[in-house]
Chains A and B, each alone.
Chain A
Amino acid sequence: MNQPAIMKKSNKSASYYAWVGVFFLSLAILIGALYYSTIKIDYVWRWYRIPQYFAFKEKIDIKSQVTGRISEISYQKGEALIVVKTDGEDKTYAVPEGDIKVSEGEYVNHGYVLAFYEKWKPGILIQGLWLTIEVSIISTLLGILIGLIGGLARLSSNPAFKWASITYIEIIRGSPLLVQIFIWYFVLGTLINTILDKYGISPIPPLWYGVAALACFTGAYVAEIVRAGIQSIHRGQVEASRSLGMTYAQSMRYVILPQALRRILPPLAGQFISLIKDSSLLGIIAIRELSKATREIVTTSLQPFELWFVCALLYLVLTFTLSMFVQYLERRTAV
């Protein structure tokens, strides 16, 4: 964007910096006040306990699968080779050096722990975060598909398509997402899974009802965005392409939608940022996404303050990344 020359010049007065100071001071006071009041109620901040919920080291035992005597332990490049001599074939185990529980000449039974190693595992917060990402991506893609079809149907002159689209959009936009999730899970889910059960098919897990609820919810808003985007393209564009002999579909695909897309990218991004945040509601139907995962740890760890702040921060990272990505797309698609 071109800013007027007046704005570009950084001719900031002393009062400007004073107000910048006021801003940071207020921020500091707010945080200080929060901290002070937590001290007042004897809340003990234990930030050091938080990393384990991101990733933790798991101890994995290496057990002997045979019975015999340790005939040799040799070391090479940080690794140790343990040879167990048996009546039949000898067995060799490669284990990390340093964590060896046995010594040469020792007799080991089947299942005896020879050594162990540690492995990093994703913690419950990361697992929740990953599920949130997964659910958001799938719902976004489905939402785009539904929204595109819904938006085109909304503009159709065929009353069946048009009215179906209007009904869908109005119903979805007129009821709370929470209620829609309940309907998907407790009404449609029960119905579908019971019927599937009758035919001996295994039930669909709750995750998919959650995804369906989010996708349908987002689809309705995307449909309205798509409709507005298409309508914002000048009528002359359709006329020019149709006058060249293009079909409705060709004109949409090559002329109208590419132009509309550029205009709907910003509102679309806002919609998908909402979707990421709304996915936190899925916890109520036992989907262990980020906020449900946080709630679970809070009940066991009793560190609610730290955990809820971390949870909020993780959502912020997701939404911020998405909006950066969309800004990049906008710059790329600009002529």
Chain B
Amino acid sequence: MIEVQNIYKTFLVPHRVEALVNVSCKVEAGAVVVVIGPSGSGKSTLLRCLNHLETADSGKIIIEGIDTLDPKTNINKLRAEVGMVFQSFNLFPHKSVLENITLAQKVVRKRTKKESLEKAFSLLNKVGIKDKANVYPDQLSGGQQQRVAIARALAMDPKIMLFDEPTSALDPEMIGEVLDVMKNLAREGMTMVVVTHEMGFAKEVADRVIFMDMGAIVEEGTPEHFFTNPENQRTKLFLSQIL
């Protein structure tokens, strides 16, 4: 479960940008929340604040009952519980698919080689590319790379998964295979926060949709609410552009 209370984040370099302005939201255990909004509205920043790739300036972020902005909190431990999938995959290019998935298991979770390999194979099976175990990332298609990235994050047995536009860098024909993996994950009960413009995905598995603009949450509700009668003027405008 995630609780975000009144967080602010301002970037000063290269120039002053108020990326998050008084943002509060809640993601219950097992819920799937989709975040939408125009480019530069602060979606990535919100996600990155959740696992401390950025540190919120003020406010409170409580994950699984732990106050993550408390300086005494072990951030590395927290991050192992919160998986993240990036728009640009960010696989380790010098390591094979298998090594990508086993590395953090070994050095962070301290699993044995055998345990981590078993985990890796079962996850590769789950994301549907077990035949690519010994291949290097640059030999995979974008969709395959993103599925490996999801497997890599899942290997840590996270309680929460964050997805930052996981399909935006993909060719259209590969979007489906990645979304399918994410849908399965949602059905298994994973707590997920997904920044995406794939409204089909939102319709199918999201419990709630959050619309952000200019660093603030403008509107929040069920997918039906967004598709049938969005209230805010900016929401309407945005949805008319992407649907």
A244 and B90 contact, Cβ closer than 8 Å, known pairs A239-B53, A335-B136, A335-B138: no
B88 CB–A CB distance under 8 Å: yes
A21 CB–B CB distance under 8 Å: no
B93 close to A244 (CB less than 8 A) = no
Q: Which residues of A contact B109 (CB under 8 A)?
A: 245
Contact with A along B154-196 (1 / 0, CB 8 A): 0010000000000000000000000000000000000000000
Partner pick for B92 among A240, A245, A247, A262, CB 8 A cutoff:
A240
Contact with B along A212-243 (1 / 0, CB 8 A): 00000000000000000000001011011111
Tell me the bound Cα distance from A242 to B107 in angstroms.
12
Partner pick for A236 among B90, B153, B156, CB 8 A cutoff:
B90
Give chain B's interface residue range (CB within 8 Å of chain A).
20 to 34
For B53, give the chain A residue with the smallest CB separation.
A239
B103 CB–A CB distance under 8 Å: yes
> Which of A184-192, A250-258, A289-297 lies on the face that meets chain B?
A250-258
Tell me the bound Cα distance from A78 to B83 in angstroms.
78
Tell me the bound Cα distance from A93 to B65 in angstroms.
89
Tell me the bound Cα distance from A262 to B51 in angstroms.
30
A262 close to B94 (CB less than 8 A) = yes
A84 CB to closest chain B CB, in angstroms? 69
A246 and B136 contact, Cβ closer than 8 Å, known pairs A259-B93, A259-B94: no
Tell me the bound Cα distance from A53 to B138 in angstroms.
55
Q: Which residues of B contact A247 (CB under 8 A)?
A: 76
A245 and B84 contact, Cβ closer than 8 Å, known pairs A254-B103, A259-B93, A335-B138: no
Q: Which residues of B contact A335 (CB under 8 A)?
A: 93-94, 136, 138
Q: Which residues of A contact B83 (CB under 8 A)?
A: 243-244
Q: Which residues of A contact B86 (CB under 8 A)?
A: 236, 239-240
Q: Which residues of A contact B88 (CB under 8 A)?
A: 236
Give chain A's interface residue range (CB within 8 Å of chain B).
10 to 19
B132 CB–A CB distance under 8 Å: no
B108 CB–A CB distance under 8 Å: yes
Q: Is the interface of A mostly helix, strand, loop or mixed?
A: helix
Q: Which residues of B contact A255 (CB under 8 A)?
A: 92, 103
For A253, give the chain B residue with the smallest CB separation.
B107
Tell me the bound Cα distance from A243 to B84 in angstroms.
6
B108 close to A246 (CB less than 8 A) = yes
Q: Which residues of B contact A240 (CB under 8 A)?
A: 84, 86, 90-92, 149
Tell me the bound Cα distance from A12 to B153 in angstroms.
56
Q: Which residues of B contact A241 (CB under 8 A)?
A: 92, 104
B36 CB–A CB distance under 8 Å: no
Q: Which residues of A contact B81 (CB under 8 A)?
A: 245
Q: Which residues of A contact B80 (CB under 8 A)?
A: 244-245
B94 close to A242 (CB less than 8 A) = no
Tell me the bound Cα distance from A245 to B77 in angstroms.
6
Given contacts A237-B92, A244-B104, A244-B153, 9 further A-B contacts (CB under 8 A): A239-B86, A240-B149, A243-B82, A244-B103, A245-B81, A245-B109, A246-B104, A250-B108, A262-B94
User: Which residues in B have some Cβ–Cβ distance to A below 8 Å?
Assistant: 51, 53, 76-77, 79-84, 86, 88, 90-94, 103-104, 107-109, 136, 138, 149, 152-153, 156
Shortest 4 CB-CB contacts between residues of A and residues of B: A245-B80, A240-B90, A244-B104, A236-B90
User: Which residues in A have some Cβ–Cβ distance to B below 8 Å?
Assistant: 234, 236-237, 239-247, 250, 254-255, 258-259, 262, 335
22 A–B pairs (Cβ distance < 8 Å), ordered by A: A236-B88, A236-B90, A239-B53, A240-B86, A240-B90, A240-B91, A240-B149, A243-B153, A244-B104, A244-B156, A245-B76, A245-B77, A245-B109, A245-B156, A246-B107, A250-B107, A254-B107, A255-B92, A258-B94, A262-B94, A335-B94, A335-B136
